Amino acid sequence: VGDFAFDADTRVWAAGDPGEYRAALTDRWDGIGGAVNGGYMVATCTRALGLLVPFPDPIVVSGFFLRPGTAGEAAIRASVWRSGKTTAFGESELTQDGKQVVRVTAAFARLADPRDGPSVAGPSVAGPSLVEGAPPSLPPPADCVGVPVSAFALAPIAERVEFRAAALPGWFLGRPTGRPSSEFWMRLADGRDADLLALPMLVDSTAPSVLELGVSSATIQLTVHLRAHPAPGWLACRATTRFVSGGYHEEDFEVWDSAGTMVAQSRQLAVVLPL
Amino acid sequence: VGDFAFDADTRVWAAGDPGEYRAALTDRWDGIGGAVNGGYMVATCTRALGLLVPFPDPIVVSGFFLRPGTAGEAAIRASVWRSGKTTAFGESELTQDGKQVVRVTAAFARLADPRDGPSVAGPSVAGPSLVEGAPPSLPPPADCVGVPVSAFALAPIAERVEFRAAALPGWFLGRPTGRPSSEFWMRLADGRDADLLALPMLVDSTAPSVLELGVSSATIQLTVHLRAHPAPGWLACRATTRFVSGGYHEEDFEVWDSAGTMVAQSRQLAVVLPL
């Protein structure tokens, strides 16, 4: 844990019985309106659970959002449900003032890591591989535009996560496009490279796609598949909402690393809110 | 609960303290190899949790599969985490012989239901709606072919869930196509119409898409979004695997009802297994 904001702010301290931790949620990841970012809380919960399992890599993380979180003290209770030969399962619950805020369930394993060399491998790595799809086709980050941080005085997370896109979003310019899909670059603003722990935060760090429909949203549930260790550098991302109905919508998110590997897929279910 | 297999086999009985239930998993939903279908266990857990919450409709269900289930007695312990004005959250854990098999987390609410008339509605139903996509383009069910049930002597679930596709799958004919995506009709074979409880089973009831790559798979986690009450009749479905790497793959599933409404979206993370 160095001086990077993500590492400092997701830190947990042992507190009492095994699996019980204390966390200090900061206001540096707040979105518009002052709610602590859900992905940041999921990442913090996942980090706590990771201390208990014998495998290094979260491979699937599911978070349910029961209440908005607020900056300040939080308690986390993590427990391992099963630890098998290749996969461990457990949960991690974050409470504030005795009230449940986020419940995270996750599976951990060991993903193949190019840095480990070919001798360390996950299950069945010799099996088939398939990539149906490609990274977003974006101009280089230097040729893209970023939303000015000053425009987000009320969304501190915009200072922590840097975005670049070919053009400014319609909703930001006051002209929602009606198309809640977008492609963009993303990275942590302080130079920390993304890893499997940061990805669950990053996939929830953007403004909701449905802003392009003139509405906002609140996440009920977020599932993240972590598919590979991301290479250092910018991440090419694609956020897509295809179905808005009955007051709910999904948002899908794909993250491709600088080596062209699809490293994370997420989907959330959210409730539509008036702006 | 009538004579339909799904209702009979997902039944739970109160056992002891509130939230504690007994279930009797049957072998009628086994896949090839004799493992109880995961979606069937998720549906049973969701049904138990539904008895405790004040809202009728599961809207998102997340199931983690810790161990294979086996036909026979099971214990379910369900608990409500939070019940708010529009949404309730809780979990449901299925154990056999004292060992955890499946852990389900779900959110319940009230989805708009055409049968209720316009006066009963979920949150923000007056908001925008968007459908990017369309049902699979399939010949009518009567003009499609079904995989003969007799071919699945070892997969009893094939007798419970009826499939029809424009052509028999390549893997079934011994010629895997290399393309793990398919479109088909589906319904419960005994005439029971699908509802929000049956959908989490149905999205997990097909043979894995990766059979078209010459491998099989075991599900680690399944997330299902329930977006609308399905109209009676055949369901048009689309199963897609786009990413197979490092021994894992995802499988996405879309279910469209006979009225042309997208009623469920699911995604699972699974580990690749040799055939």
Is A132's Cβ below 8 Å from some Cβ in B? yes
- Give the pTM: 0.95
Between B148 and A202, name the one with better pLDDT.
A202
Give the three-class secondary structure for A113: coil
User: B275 and chain A: CB distance < 8 Å anywhere?
Assistant: no
Q: What is the DSSP letter of B36?
A: B
* Residue B122: pLDDT band with limits 50, 70, 90: very low
Which residues in A lie closer than 8 A to residue B225 (C-beta atoms)? 250, 267, 269
Average pLDDT over residues A14-19: 94
pLDDT at A156 over 80: yes
pLDDT at A32 over 80: no
Which value, to the nearest 10 degrees, does the dihedral of the CA atoms of residues A51, A55, A56, A59 take? -110
Interface test with B, best of A64, A87, A103, A212 (most B CBs within 10 A): A64
> Which pLDDT score is estimated for A112?
85
Supply the pLDDT for residue B33. 75
Task: Kindly list the residues from chain B whose CB atom is less than 8 angstroms away from the CB atom of residue A67.
Answer: 82
- State the Cα–Cα distance between residues A219 and A42, nearest whole angstrom: 12
As a whole number, the mean pLDDT across chain B is 92
Contacts A60 to B, Cβ<8 Å: 220-221, 269
Q: Which of B249, B242, B6, B231 is nearest to B135 (CA)?
A: B231
At A125, is the pLDDT very low, low, confident or very high (cuts 50, 70, 90)?
A: low
| A74-121 per-position pLDDT tens digit | 999 999 999 999 999 999 999 999 999 999 999 999 998 766 654 444
Chain segment B236-275, per-residue pLDDT in tens: 999 999 999 999 999 999 999 999 999 999 999 999 999 8
CA distances for A161 relative to A40, A43, A190, A252, B237, angstroms: 12, 15, 8, 19, 38
By percentage, how much of chain A surpasses pLDDT 90? 84
pLDDT single digits (tens) A208-232: 999 999 999 999 999 999 999 999 9
* Count of CA atoms in the C-beta half-sphere (13 A) of B275: 14
Count CB-CB contacts under 10 A for residue B97: 10
Which one is predicted more confidently, B63 or B158? B63
Provide the shortest C-alpha distance from residue B244 to chain A (in Å): 5
Check pLDDT > 60 for residue B153.
no
A274 interaction partners in chain B (CB closer than 8 Å): 124, 127
In chain A, which among 23-62 make CB contacts under 8 A with chain B?
59-60, 62
User: What is the average per-residue pLDDT within A169-194?
Assistant: 95
Coil, strand or helix at A256: strand
Nearest CA in chain A to B111: A246
B residues 161-220 closer than 8 Å to A (CB): 180-181, 210, 213-215, 220
Residues whose CB falls within 8 Å of the CB of residue B208, separated by 6 or more in sequence, listed in order: B216, B217, B251, B270
Please compute the mean of the pLDDT values over residues B151-160 and round it to a whole number. 77
Q: What does the alpha-carbon distance between residue A267 and residue A175 come to, in Å, rounded to a whole number?
A: 26
Question: What does DSSP assign to residue B230?
Answer: P
